[in-house]
């Protein structure tokens, strides 16, 4: 099961890298262009997911094709569904609200025992991402109907 998931992530990483190559790596003034970060992130994703896929296939061969449903498979399905829902609501609710809800719900699913830490992270992570992308890099994130 892990090999299938790693293969899926490798395909997504390759598609991400190919999409990143559609943007300019450097602009006309010699500064970093819009494609700089997507290309390097795509390269790193391809490298690390290839290593993970190789290790998962090696482990699968070692276990002689035993197929066991992982212990936390239901949590994986829930997080994938939440990620899909996050993507759908990102432009509707705005970046800040949708990120805060997504981070809190995912952390609640994965770690129900530390509610206070989950709340702190669900506030700190979206604000940090907002400051990085919207304020410092001026990338522009979608606003919510409430102006956030």
Query: pLDDT per residue over 91-142, tens digit each?
Result: 888 888 899 999 999 999 888 888 999 999 999 998 998 888 888 887 777 7
What is the rounded distance in angstroms from the CA atom of residue 41 to the CA atom of residue 84?
21
pTM over 0.85? The answer is no
Highest average pLDDT, of 12-16, 23-27, 58-62, 63-67, comes from 12-16
Same domain, 26 and 80: no
pLDDT on residue 90: 84
Terminus-to-terminus CA distance in the chain, angstroms?
40
Q: Does residue 146 fall inside a structural domain?
A: no
Residue 143 lies in a domain: no
Largest CA distance in the chain: 56
Residue 58's alpha-carbon distances to 1, 30, 62, 71, 74, in angstroms, are 13, 44, 6, 21, 25
Element (H, E) at 58: helix 36-62
- Distance set, CA 127 to CA 98, 103, 108, 137 (Å): 12, 12, 19, 14
Is 77 a member of any domain?
Answer: yes
Same domain? For 52 and 92 the reply is no
Residue 69 has a pLDDT of 67
Q: How many domains does the chain have?
A: 2
- How many other CB atoms are there within 10 angstroms of residue 122's CB atom? 20
* 58-105 per-position pLDDT tens digit: 887 777 665 666 777 888 888 899 999 988 888 888 888 899 999 999
């Amino acid at each position: 099961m892990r090999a299938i998931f790693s293969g899926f992530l490798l395909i997504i990483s390759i598609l991400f890298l190919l999409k990143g190559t559609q943007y300019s790596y450097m602009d006309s003034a010699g500064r970093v262009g819009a494609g700089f970060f997507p290309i390097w992130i795509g390269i790193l994703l391809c490298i690390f997911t290839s290593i993970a896929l190789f290790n998962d296939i090696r482990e699968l061969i070692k276990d002689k094709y035993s197929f066991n449903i992982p212990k936390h498979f239901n949590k994986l399905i829930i997080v994938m569904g939440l990620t899909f829902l996050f993507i759908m609501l990102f432009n509707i609710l705005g970046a800040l609200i949708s990120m805060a809800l997504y981070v809190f719900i995912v952390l609640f699913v994965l770690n129900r025992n530390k509610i206070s830490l989950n709340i702190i992270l669900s506030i700190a992570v979206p604000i940090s991402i907002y400051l990085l992308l919207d304020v410092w890099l001026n990338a522009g994130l979608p606003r919510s109907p409430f102006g956030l």
